[in-house]
Amino acid sequence: KNEVEQSPQNLTAQEGEFITINCSYSVGISALHWLQQHPGGGIVSLFMLSSGKKKHGRLIATINIQEKHSSLHITASHPRDSAVYICAYLGNKLTFGGGTRVLVKP
């Protein structure tokens, strides 16, 4: 069993729809990373959070440390949000989930 599980693996949405990606992990952690990988391969760090909720533009990340679960929400999705979203828990090194491939259609 992977230490970090993401769902769904693939997601297709229409422009404007609300998107939720889930991440569950099996070990106690101090912080969780949400990353965005663009079609060209480049990776951008979206959030690092250890409790509660963070918001940046149309992106919202939440985490429940006790339940070992985090979610990434995209509000009013847009085709430029199409990417692979990866959660990873953070210690001395990152342990990654398998990623969620998001396609937002116009």
| Least separation in angstroms between CB 64 and other proteins | 19
**Which residues are at the interface with other proteins (CB under 8 A)?**
30-31, 33, 35, 41-45, 48, 86, 88, 90-94, 96-99
How far apart CA 32 and CA 47 sit, in angstroms, is 8
- Which residues are within 8 A (CB) of 65 and not within 5 positions of it... i.e. 6 or more apart? 29, 50, 51
99: tokens are 């990623």
Least CB distance to other proteins at residue 15 (A)? 27
> CB of residue 86 vs other proteins: minimum separation in angstroms?
7
Q: Which is nearer to other proteins, 39 or 57 (CB)?
A: 39
State how far the Cα of 99 lies from the Cα of 17, in Å rounded to an integer: 20
Nearer to other proteins, 80 or 93 (CB): 93
